[in-house]
Chains A and B, each alone.
Chain A
Amino acid sequence: MPKYLILKHYRGGPEQNYAPMNEWTAEEVRTHIAFQHHVADMLRERGEFVDAQALSPAGSYVQYGGPDAAPKVDGPFPEAKELIAGWYVIDVDSVERAHEVAAYVSSAPGKGGEPVYEWLEVRPFMDEAGEKLLDLPE
């Protein structure tokens, strides 16, 4: 059973197509967050849930500073064009089911209670087990 990461980009994806959250009312934000919990509950109920996390936007870029030097730190970038806001990790039967879950997440209510149509990135995990029947047909 393959695992997929459903990545929520803030302002990411092929196009920015919905009003940013700072233009929403408190009730709209609350409804949106409640929907995220509902998605996690639905995934738990179906036995597909692995993980769900939200990330703080206050991150930095860090680089090796060279021998005997401190790490090089850049940022945070509050106005960055693209941020990762969080993710779901799911364990599902097929890529079609992963897409179905992502589409559902994208239907989350946004401004005016309308679906946000947010773009979500769906990425398969590499298999853990490296031991397939490599020399045999599968």
Chain B
Amino acid sequence: MTDTELIRGLAPQVLGILVRRGTHFAAAEDAVQEALLEAHLSWPDRPPDDPLGWLITVARRKLIDAQRAEAARRRREEATFDEPAPGPTETADDTLLLLFMCCHPALSPASAIALTLRAVGGLTTREIAEAFLVPEATMAQRISRAKKTIAGEPLTAPGDVAVVLRVLYLIFNEGYGGRVDLAAEAIRLTRQLALECSEPEVAGLLALMVLHHARRAARTDADGALVPLDLQDRSRWDRAAIGEGVRILQGALAQERRGEYQIMAAIAALHDDAASAEDTDWAQILEWYDELVALTDNPAAALSRAVAVGEVDGPLAGLRALDGLDERLPEHHRLDAVRAHLHERAGNVAAAAECFTRAASGARSAAERDHLLLRAARARNG
């Protein structure tokens, strides 16, 4: 394990211990961040015998420094410091409670993501800023505001785990940016959460991430262009990760409380399981999509379901399955892309080219736009 991995893994434990001993969350979080920065500087030369103890000691010193500075700022001659009240130091569910705090419903998704990555993920403000391509000062301010927003919220009652899962899912979707691999970071955090929380949707999300991440190497070609699922080189998929994802998913499904992440993971597993695109068990995938649409009434799920309908019942049936989605989908380019794909399969070349072109003009990322422009050109010229 590298120093960085060690430091990131210990961060929530140190924070949890400080908070449990009575230190205010915002102050404790600042102190831990400073201790982490110091660890990054000094551990490579002087590795500590007891890394956790080292971090706790340094964080507490930072806390006292901050209290002293605060006291000086208030122009008190002599400051007295309250020792944090003794409390339990060994607790199993610190990560869970910290995640609930950082993913508080009062926070915007962007604030919750930033705070989660720092307080629970143990990332530095600079790393988070680089990952989201904003100035470090901007990210520092965002985190500081987020902490003010949740100041005074007690760190006791667990909230709705769905809110936490949503934030972890959004972090995973950020993928690569800057030096930090946010997809891997999201998997690490979800893994930590799964150790403390037996809710099947937690395992479902972890399985979904692992199963999807397993295809990463095949998802882009040497030039960085997107490779769609049916054209990916499946020998580049990570078989060990797929095996792990399937095991996690089976454990979740065995609890017989289905949720959207478990269903999406089941669909991902069926794709991962197919030796070739032609071998994909679309009938079973369609059944899972039927269940997902019935469960969530999510138009994005209905859109993906139409692709499966196209595979099982033919492209014309797939096109009919898109009826009524125009009004319900805010992101029209994805609907255009699916429509184009189905028209192409039905042999309607002109309609396919037109829809791919329209989809490209609405694409949200350059890689996606380039991919759609290529498909449009191919549909036009064969």
Contact surface of A with B, Cβ cutoff 8 Å: 1, 3, 44-50, 91, 93, 124, 126-138
Q: Judge whether A137 and B292 touch: CB under 8 Å.
A: yes
Q: Judge whether B212 and A136 touch: CB under 8 Å.
A: yes
For residue B241, CB closer than 8 A to chain A, the reply is no
Q: In the complex, A137 Cα to B368 Cα: how many Å?
A: 16
- Contact of A126 with B135 at beta-carbon distance under 8 Å, contacts A45-B141, A135-B229 already known: no
Q: Judge whether A126 and B301 touch: CB under 8 Å.
A: no
Within 8 A of A (CB), among B118-151: 132-135, 137-145
Chain B residues within 8 Å of A45, by CB: 141
B368 CB → nearest A CB, Å:
6
Pairs of residues from A and B, 9 with the lowest C-beta to C-beta distance, nearest first? A130-B367, A47-B142, A131-B175, A127-B365, A129-B175, A1-B110, A137-B300, A137-B301, A47-B141
Contact for B145 among A1, A46, A127, A129, CB less than 8 A: A46
Q: Judge whether A126 and B365 touch: CB under 8 Å.
A: yes
Among the listed stretches B37-45, B187-195, B264-272, B315-323, which one makes contact with chain A, having 4 or more residues with CB under 8 Å of it? Answer: B264-272
Chain B residues within 8 Å of A91, by CB: 110, 132-134, 138
Contact for A137 among B138, B298, B369, CB less than 8 A: B298
Q: Judge whether A136 and B141 touch: CB under 8 Å.
A: no
Chain B residues within 8 Å of A132, by CB: 173, 175, 365, 368
Given A1-B132, A126-B363, A137-B300: 12 more A-B contacts, CB < 8 Å: A46-B142, A47-B142, A48-B138, A91-B134, A93-B110, A129-B176, A131-B367, A132-B175, A134-B226, A136-B268, A137-B292, A137-B298
Q: Among the interface residues A1, A47, A134, A135, which one has the most CB atoms of the partner chain B within 10 A? A: A47
Q: How many A-B residue pairs have CB under 8 A?
A: 102
- Secondary structure of the A contact surface, majority rule: loop
- Secondary structure of the B contact surface, majority rule: helix
- Write 17 A-B pairs (CB below 8 A) sorted by A numbering: A1-B113, A46-B142, A48-B138, A49-B134, A93-B108, A93-B109, A126-B364, A127-B366, A129-B173, A130-B175, A130-B220, A134-B226, A135-B228, A135-B271, A135-B304, A137-B292, A138-B173
Chain A residues within 8 Å of B292, by CB: 137
Chain B 72-116 interface 0/1 with A at a Cβ cutoff of 8 Å (1 = within): 000000000000000000000000000000000000111101000
Q: Judge whether B176 and A138 touch: CB under 8 Å.
A: no
- Contact of A130 with B366 at beta-carbon distance under 8 Å, contacts A44-B137, A50-B135, A138-B173 already known: yes
Q: In the complex, A3 Cα to B110 Cα: how many Å?
A: 12
For residue B15, CB closer than 8 A to chain A, the reply is no
Number of interface residues of B (CB under 8 A): 50
A63 CB → nearest B CB, Å:
24
Chain A residues within 8 Å of B108, by CB: 93
Contact for B138 among A49, A124, A129, CB less than 8 A: A49
Within 8 A of A (CB), among B322-372: 363-369
Chain A residues within 8 Å of B364, by CB: 124, 126-127
Q: In the complex, A132 Cα to B300 Cα: how many Å?
A: 13
For residue B303, CB closer than 8 A to chain A, the reply is yes
For residue B62, CB closer than 8 A to chain A, the reply is no
For residue B248, CB closer than 8 A to chain A, the reply is no
Chain B 288-317 interface 0/1 with A at a Cβ cutoff of 8 Å (1 = within): 000010000010110110000000000000
Within 8 A of A (CB), among B218-237: 219-220, 224, 226, 228-229
A138 CB → nearest B CB, Å:
5
A113 CB → nearest B CB, Å:
30
Chain A residues within 8 Å of B268, by CB: 136
Chain B residues within 8 Å of A130, by CB: 175, 220, 224, 226, 365-368
B227 CB → nearest A CB, Å:
10
Q: Judge whether A131 and B176 touch: CB under 8 Å.
A: yes
Chain B residues within 8 Å of A126, by CB: 363-366, 369
A138's nearest neighbour on chain B, judged by CB, is B300
B139's nearest neighbour on chain A, judged by CB, is A47
Q: Judge whether A136 and B366 touch: CB under 8 Å.
A: no
Contact for A134 among B110, B208, B228, CB less than 8 A: B228
